[in-house]
Amino acid sequence: MGVEVLAPAKVNLFLEVLSKRKNGYHEIETIMQSINLYDSIILEEEDKGIKIDCKVQGVPSGKRNLVYHAANLLSDFCSIDKGVVIKIEKKIPVAAGLGGGSSDAASVLIGLNNLWKLRLSNDTLIELGTQLGADVPFFINKGLIMASGIGQDLTSLPSLPKIYFILITPHLSISTGFIYRNLELAKRRREIEPILEAIYEKDLEKLCLHLYNALEKVVIKYYPIVNWVKDNLRKEGAMGVLMSGSGPTVFGIAKDKEHAYSIYNRLKGGDYFIQVVESING
């Protein structure tokens, strides 16, 4: 028996860091949008144990991989005595600010819920996902969502007309922990209301005016290539440009599909991952 789950990437349209908790987690406000760039998670029953099968360089193996902890958490929570082989086919760049690891972990929770016929609710899966990482709860629901707290408080937002993004990921690895440790919290927070207003009005131009990521200033300080990518996307006509998550991926928003591929064709061939993707609903 086996189950396959597609694990989508995401981009952050807005990310503000509000405070730091005593346990080291940060309070955030963010708006995330699922996109049609997927890892494939294949789950196959095993007599015992949890095995990870992934051939991509940079992806941790065994207990160092978040999907192992997702399977182990669900197994313990439901007192399951079966094992599982988790095959990960990666398409999402690793450690790129696109949520690939968190999406894979969420997909393991969703897939094992089906494979083991557990019938757990989404709310229960979200509670479990919170124990794994800040972005995991989002990937249980997917779509266009506002998240707050440490990422576990989710509010679904109305779907926008399809948005076309040009993703560019420089070939470098950025530690999320390093970025947060070097972030100085702003004295005045960036308000989320203007971009929410644009979303409810379904106004893409207005949304592009209010894209924001508090982590950009830290990343650009240590990795100036991120700013170089942003500048090039702007020069080629992207309506709005922003780094996603803790980087290094930068996305540009295009007017439509034709515009997106026009920008892509002028920027392809560089020493980076580049792809046109589109928004997807939950």
Q: What is the pLDDT of residue 22?
A: 63
The domains located in the chain, with CATH, are: 2-156 (3.30.230.10), 164-278 (3.30.70.890)
Residue 142: pLDDT band by 50, 70, 90 thresholds? Answer: very high
Q: CB–CB of 111/125 below 8 Å?
A: no
d(CA 163, CA 279): 5
Q: Can you read off the two tokens belonging to residue 32? A: 């995330």
Q: Which of 39, 90, 104, 135 is catalytic?
A: 135
24-70 pLDDT tens trace: 677 899 999 999 999 999 999 998 899 999 988 878 778 889 999 99
269-281 pLDDT tens trace: 999 999 999 999 9
CA angle 179, 8, 59 (to 5 degrees): 55
Q: Which of 10, 90, 142, 230 is catalytic?
A: 10
Q: What is the pLDDT of residue 23?
A: 64
Q: Which residues contact 131 (CB under 8 A, 6 or more apart)?
A: 73
Q: What is the pLDDT of residue 151?
A: 74
For residues 125-150, average pLDDT: 92
Active site includes 135? yes
d(CA 178, CA 17): 15
Among residues 190, 203, 187, 188, the alpha carbon closest in space to that of 253 is found at 203
Q: What is the pLDDT of residue 166?
A: 98
DSSP string computed for 18-31: EEE-TTS-EEEEEE
Q: Which residue has the higher pLDDT, 22 or 91?
A: 91
Active site includes 10? yes
Rg of the chain's alpha carbons, rounded to an integer?
19
Q: CB–CB of 144/30 below 8 Å?
A: no
Amino acid type, 282: G
